[in-house]
Amino acid sequence: FCKNRLTNLPKNAIVETKNKYQNMCYIVAYNILYSREDSEECVNDTWLFTWNNIPPRRPSVFSSFALKN
């Protein structure tokens, strides 16, 4: 399932998504965890979970979708 999803999305989608939302996700994680290392790991886990669970149609507010994961 995940492999099919990756082949159906633009090659630069992961990089563009990370560039756009990484700082926001990191700030949220850091304000909860107060640890740089834990926050970075949390953001990485969020990207993996979000990428694996993104619906076929892009959510209307992607940042809300990503942050709730």
pLDDT tens-digit readout, 20-42: 888 999 999 999 999 999 999 99
Q: Rounded CA gap, 69 and 58, in Å?
A: 15
Write the single-letter amino acid at 3. Answer: K
Q: Rounded CA gap, 13 and 11, in Å?
A: 6
| pLDDT per position as a tens digit, 38-50 | 999 999 888 888 7
26 touches 40 (CB < 8 A): yes
